[in-house]
Amino acid sequence: MNLPDGFRLRPATVADDLDTTVAILRTCDLHDVGFDDVSGIWMKDSWTSSGHRGAWIVEDAAGLPCGFASLGSTDPSSMIDSFLPVLPAQRDAVRPALLELIEREARSVAVGTPTLLASFSAEEGAAPVVEAAGFSFARVFWHMQRPIDASFRPIAPPPSVMVRPYVAGDDDRLGWELIDQAFAGHFGMDPTSLEDYLHDVIEPDSWDPSLAAIAELDGTPVGIVTGYLLEPVGWIGDLGVIEAGRGRGVGRALLEHGFASLAARGASRIQLNVDSANATGATRLYESAGMSVRRSFECYEKLLTPG
């Protein structure tokens, strides 16, 4: 890996480097889009998840952190995900080396020929150096948003649809099953085991079952919504409807229930992350519910063929 003279790479840990990585991300966001959506809670959850495969910090010639890379994979025979933010002043010098790093580390955990993904804020203009490293543009992900307050009232769901509270413990297996089925085949999503789901979703301190709900269609569970409150922003985490429940108003009912739950807890803005090319019509649903694009992330992919 060819870092510039004086720069060095070292392993990163949650205990030692969480604040450092949050500061790097915040600086990048403020430079690129003028605001930041950085959460140390989510960074910690990512680095302690079952799919975490490593993280590294880059320090400049003065010994100051200027970038980092992280790698994760639920199924290293299918997909390996990476994230590699670098401070604006050092991007040209450091990013090529970090792309080499993530490919080398991804190959060390790969099984067969998985796809390596790398995402960047759209405003970075990362395409030339990323494509030079053999990656191809895959798609755009959006952060969407809408304002909200405690006066929000959800629309009434169709008569056949009931949205009920999530019951902590009792609904954990059901929640895993619904999410696994709802997102099967979606870009960047691999199946996960119940054990990993419990570790990654239910056990972290960020999980709040009171902000989750189950949708039933004629008495049969068909969908789930989860929420997270990072004051003053409320985030919709997962919103999934299995194929048997689509086109029946279930997704809209879950979305508005999520809005109402977060608004009642004091959120002044709702945000979520979505694949702009989602094939199930999620972006149209969110737009019809008053959401608009806050920012975009470009995702690139590279098939890790042998050699």
Residue 306 has what pLDDT?
84
Chain-centre distance of CA 254, in angstroms?
A: 19
pLDDT-flagged residues of the chain (< 70)? 307
Rounded-to-integer distance, Cα 279 and Cα 187, Å: 10
In CATH, which superfamily holds the domain spanning 8-134?
Answer: Gcn5-related N-acetyltransferase (GNAT) (3.40.630.30)
- The predicted model scores a pTM of 0.94
Rounded-to-integer distance, Cα 240 and Cα 238, Å: 6
- Taking a C-beta distance cutoff of 8 angstroms, is the pair 73, 196 a contact? no
Domain 145-295, classified CATH 3.40.630.30, yes or no? yes
- Taking a C-beta distance cutoff of 8 angstroms, is the pair 249, 233 a contact? no
Q: Nearest CA to 32 among 97, 99, 125?
A: 125
Backbone angles phi, psi at 267, to 5 degrees: -65, 140
Residue 215 has what pLDDT?
98
Q: Is the dihedral of CA 145, 150, 151, 155 positive or negative?
A: positive
- Taking a C-beta distance cutoff of 8 angstroms, is the pair 269, 292 a contact? no
N residues, the chain: 307
So where are the chain's domains? 8-134, 145-295
Residue 37 has what pLDDT?
87
Residue 160 has what pLDDT?
96
Residue 231 has what pLDDT?
85
Residue 2 has what pLDDT?
83
Which amino acid does the sequence have at 154?
P
| Burial state string for 84-97 with b = 16 or more CB within 10 A and e = fewer than 16 | bbbbeebbebbbbb
